[in-house]
Structure 1
């Protein structure tokens, strides 16, 4: 391919004696060398069809044939021919109509010369049009460029999760994990980017762990699990099999699907941990990072609380005698202290605080027993199991495991419709504001189960008075979820009376609150006013019907 570039053309036309003759020679030299086409060219000139347009039309017609021919050469593994084609055609890669053809050659090259790779990377317009196969080869050697591509995708994943946590019509943590990863554009984009390139997968995995260590955002762990299982969904996939904790994550994924970690799966996890007990990378890096996923934390905490209820049913008095409970607690503890383990301040093999088993959990069991035995569920009756409040609260503040178990205990108490016990425990949430009760992950699940379980708005009023009203102005997301509860109350009988109690004072956002909160608040006011209008219309209609009946009665008598 002998191409006359701009400077060569300029030199030729400047120094020639007959420009028209020079132009004709250039056209003859660089035009399509087919005798059948030559006679038609003068006619196209008369029709004012530019030679450029003509050549581009021919090129578009031939593009698919050329690409097919290149694919045939690749199937025959004709490396020499491909190299020759690349060398001759790369000079025109900047031409938009030719770029796909050159990229097709590059895509099938087993090894791309550095000079071509460097040129593509340095020219954004060409790089953006590169096929994914070529980009993977570039990313394998250029980690910085790959990280640049990853950053907006990972950021979008966090945005999507935050948006879902702000929706209480569904519980984000009850969504089936396979459905979540198959419907997530982020996961599908990452799978497409990585393909079967194990090195790129390792870069993503390492990047997510580093991001967690830098920010403590637990959703990076969720993304790591979803990505691994997305590759697992692809049968015989080499990427998932290359991950050292593939079996471990597979078992956890099954537990999420069934919404419980049964004894069989616990044994499988225990066997995996025993088999890799001396592998510090697995035990003190990969496992804690996976266990900090809020979906895993949720299922482990729920399993622990349900085991406490089971202990009461089976009349097993001491948590320290329950090996199944202790194993779940160990996993949960590692998830909650994952950052400390990755930072080297803790180890997976560190024992759980004995006081949790001998003092704290027995308190929770006593609460369960008293709730079952109690017959007076009026709001004036109080717990007989007096908790040493200062010691009890201080222990939860100092122990993330105890705090997480208590938060889950309250969620399960509402879920099981044990409202009397729940109302006794609500005040403790005010003491745990900085330790989880103001977190979106907790509030999302808590408010969901309150809305699903509580039919009497009286109990929601108690919850609002004892927690949401006290914390709404100082914590934006508590205010937000309080507005969600008020919106829920509107649909209940006499709900407008309870809403009016809070709407214009306790839950009115201030200047310091975000536009998002103000929009939600004003929308709730509109819903409230519409509800009042509907009630007023209903009352007027009923009054009119009653009046008509009385008039009819008077006529006949």
Structure 2
């Protein structure tokens, strides 16, 4: 028999046990107990002997009766709340300035009375569902009842305890809310890292569409937790800011963006209307869908940032987080890179004179400065480094021109050898001082390029985009030249997670070069990757590259390469498993 009725003065299991143990005639006591506690309806009493004749237990009868009564009570609750809702709408239409504290806009008195009088039965299993249902219909649960639910972990963790009830508890106890969402945030980061080291040859970390990413379990669950509660939404945003500052993990920036846009997808305007970053984020989301930031949208977003007044300057912190999202940074870098490619083909065009390039670099500078803005509480739009526009970008344009000239130079050299196989004409030209300038391949890389990647994160991102571009184009000579320069510099670009993820996928296009050119293969695997193989993230990305090219380079060459990249004992089980899959 369920416990809990003792609180209402109804005999419970302890009382029955005690009485049966001490009475002289148990059968007589049971008969008297049944008479005293049976259903007090004359119309039902004649049915009891009939059920006894059919060996139907009294428990089954009472249980079915409870279910019928509970269903009727549920219908009553539904009708009472529906009537209140209609009255509230009518009152609002008749008098838009009605008192917000009135009963029509708050708790229903009937439901509130039911909860207050019967809350002692919250642990009485047969009636729990009714009480939890009634609680979920109260927009303002009394504080003493909320406290009792919070302290009673059995009730709080009960599957019937709805999110609408828990939200009211979380609103008063942010620490408890933090405990609830902390595992979800950890799961979110773990999911992102899993995708980062994925060995899929179909897609990369950056290839998934924004709307598909927002369908993740964690994002959906967080949106359910928040509901329409603006306070809880603000609390989660503060958690994300704090975690970003503590860990520097940019995936928290991604979650900040995905949360807001998930509310947009679900048309929860209560949240989107109060978030000052909504218009900006919606505009950037449209750019992510198209995988490019066009000049019109870039100008609109920059104007939004510039228009923020001093009393709203803190919004810049959130805006910087939104553009610091890796997907956004990647799109911005790609857009700047394409803009520079266009400029390199125009005569007399310079980056510092191009408004579109400047707008994109303003957004990229905001993204790169996100951590400093929030950590130092310096809510001002950072200025674009003048050296990026005046030095680094022109140097990058020179490299683009080199890439165009180099194939022409190779063809000229082939034609020269065909015309002058002995080299006699070349020797004669050298005596007259008529030799052509040194090969583009042998020319020094501009000092501004090297200085840029060593001192600027934006330059590093653009250099990374350039290397991936060369790998996709299978420009082996240029790739070797630039990567060697980057490795010899003080830049940390070559071994950054985000860069390596994309670069390994791009290098997978160069399978034929790995097979046919031992010098190029040794440069990539020995001079580049093997140098930092003790760093587990580098090893994982290398194993990912080997997974992508495994079936294309032949067993002998693959065995030779995989032998060099055995995991160390200190490596995690994930890395070991990845290695074992490769050697099978």
Q: How big is the shift at 1:394?
A: 5.5
Q: Alignment partner of 2:495: what SS? A: coil
Q: For the Cα contact (< 8 Å) 1:165–1:444, is it kept in 2?
A: yes
Equivalence for 1:117: 146
Where in structure 2 are the equivalents of 1:36-435 lying within 5 Å?
A: 36-42=43-49, 51-77=58-84, 79-128=108-157, 129=159, 130-167=161-198, 168-169=200-201, 170-182=203-215, 184-235=216-267, 237-344=269-376, 348-375=380-407, 383-387=441-445, 393=450, 395-430=452-487, 435=492
Quick one: distance in 2 between partners of 1:121 and 1:28? 40
**Corresponding residue for residue 534 of structure 1:** none
> Secondary structure at the residue paired with 1:437?
helix
Deviations, residues 427-449 of structure 1 (Å, cap 9, x unaligned): 24535797343232222222222
Task: Identify if the C-alpha distance between structure 1 residues 371 and 224 changes in structure 2 by more than 3 Å, giving closer, same or farther.
Answer: same
- Per-residue Cα deviation, 1:176-204 (whole angstroms, up to 9, x for no partner): 1011112x011111111111111111111
When residues 394 and 23 of structure 1 are mapped into structure 2, their CA distance, relative to the original with a 3 A threshold, is farther
- Distance verdict in 2 for CA 1:91–1:356, change over 3 Å: same
Alignment length (residue pairs): 520
Q: Show the counterpart of 1:464.
A: 525
> After alignment, is 26-35 or 102-111 more displaced?
26-35
Deviation at 1:127?
A: 1.5
TM-score scaled to structure 1, two decimals?
A: 0.85
Q: Displacement of 1:369 after TM fit?
A: 0.5
- Structure 2 CA distance, aligned partners of 1:188 and 1:132? 14
Aligned partners of 1:245 and 1:282 also within 8 Å? no
C-alpha change, 1:392 and 1:364, in structure 2 (3 Å) is closer
SS at match of 1:242: coil
Q: Is the 8 A contact 1:370 1:385 kept in 2?
A: no
With normalisation by structure 2, the TM-score equals 0.81
8 Å CA contact 1:139–1:145 kept in 2: the answer is yes
1:58 Cα deviation (Å)?
3.2
- Tell whether 2:562 aligns with 1:503: yes
Using the TM superposition, give the Cα deviation of residue 79 of structure 1 relative to its aligned residue in structure 2, in angstroms: 2.3
**C-alpha distance 486-109 of structure 1, shift in aligned 2 (>3 A):** closer
| Aligned counterpart, 1:523 | 581
Report if the CA contact (8 A) 1:426-1:463 is conserved.
Answer: no
Residue of structure 2 in register with 1:537 after alignment: none
Aligned to 1:545: none
Change (3 A) 1:228 1:5: farther
- What's the counterpart of residue 444 of structure 1? 501
- Larger mean CA deviation between 194-203 and 429-438 belongs to 429-438
Partners of 1:68 and 1:153 in 2: CA distance? 36
CA drift of 1:205 comes to 1.3
The separation in 2 between residues aligned to 1:31 and 1:435, in whole angstroms, is 81
Contact 1:414 1:454 in 2 (8 A): no
Classify 1:394/1:274 alpha carbon distance in 2 versus 1 (closer, same or farther; 3 Å): closer
Distance 1:365-1:210 versus aligned 2 partners, 3 A rule: same
How far 1:316 sits from its partner (Å)?
Answer: 4.1
Aligned mates of 1:439, 1:45 — CA distance in 2: 79
**1-structure distance, mates of 2:569, 2:173:** 47
For the residues of structure 2 that align with 1:24 and 1:92, how far apart are their CA atoms? 27
Deviation at 1:19, TM superposition (A): 6.6
Cα distance, 1:470–1:11 mapped onto 2, change above 3 Å: closer
Displacement after TM superposition at 1:454 (Å) = 5.6
Unaligned runs of 5+ in 2: 85-106, 412-437
CA contact (8 A) 1:443 1:481 kept: yes
Q: SS at 1:174's partner residue?
A: coil
Query: Aligned partners of 1:417 and 1:287: how far apart in 2?
Result: 37
Q: In structure 2, do the counterparts of structure 1 residues 92 and 54 end up closer, same or farther at CA, with 3 Å as the change threshold?
A: farther
**Aligned partners of 1:276 and 1:282 also within 8 Å:** no
Q: Equivalent residue of 2:310, what SS?
A: coil
Aligned equivalents of 1:363, 1:497: Cα separation in 2: 41
Structure 1 Cα separation of the partners of residues 165 and 446 of structure 2: 65
8 Å CA contact 2:539–2:565 kept in 1: the answer is yes
The corresponding residue for 2:537 is 477
8 A Cα contact 1:438 1:475, kept in partner: no
**Cα deviation code 1:283-326 (max 9, x no counterpart):** 53111111211111111111111111111012344321122112
Is the 2:276–2:315 Cα contact (8 Å) retained in structure 1?
no
158 and 82 in structure 1: CA distance in 2 versus 1, 3 angstrom threshold: same
Deviations 1:196-224 (A, max 9, x none): 11111111111111111111111011001
- Aligned residue number for residue 417 of structure 2: none
SS at match of 1:244: coil
Whether the 8 Å CA contact 1:12–1:22 is kept in 2: the answer is no
Whether the aligned pair in 1 keeps the contact of 2:77 and 2:134 (CA below 8 Å) is yes
Residue equivalent to 1:538 = none
Task: Please tell me the root mean square deviation across aligned C-alpha atoms, in Å.
Answer: 3.0
Q: Distance in 2 between matches of 1:519 and 1:11?
A: 59
